[in-house]
Amino acid sequence: MALSTTVSQKKLIKRKAPRGFLKRVFKQRKPHLRLETTSDLLVHLNCLLFVHRLAEEARTNACENKCGVIKKEHVLAAAKVILKKSRG
């Protein structure tokens, strides 16, 4: 039961940036703006750091509740903090 509802860690991850995806998302949101050649890489870096901070926060939340698994509430609480921090 517990196994089927949790997602185990991936052992291998891709380090490649999904550049096409990033450009597409940006174009969808802001069709009148252009992205300079290397700035999508910096967007990727920014995303990485955002995900990193979110993960750290969620993990500490889970640890405080003495929970071995990261639950939805932990992510939600972390997201509130981190989204506030990552405003421009």
Partner 1 sequence: LNHYAKLFSFYAKMPMEKKAVEMVEKCLDKYFQHLCDDLEVFAAHAGRKTVRPEDLELLMRRQGLVSEQVSLHVLVERHLPLEYRQQLVPCAFSGNTVFPAQ
> Under a CB-based contact definition with an 8 Å cutoff, are residues 17 and 42 in contact?
no
Closest contact distance (angstroms) between CB of 6 and partner 1 is 5
1 binds partner 1 (CB under 8 A): no
All residues at 6 or more sequence positions from 68 whose CB lies less than 8 Å from its CB, including other chains? 62
Binding to partner 1 by CB under 8 A, coded x per residue (else -) over 41-80, reads xxxxxxxxxxxx-xxx-xx--x-----xxxxx-xxx--x-
Binding to partner 1 by CB under 8 A, coded x per residue (else -) over 2-41, reads ---xxxxxx--xxxxxx--x---xx--xx-xxxxx-xx-x
# residues contacting partner 1 (CB under 8 A):
57
Enter the tokens of residue 43.
């967007």
Query: If you search the block for the tokens 């940006």, which residue do you land on?
Result: 26
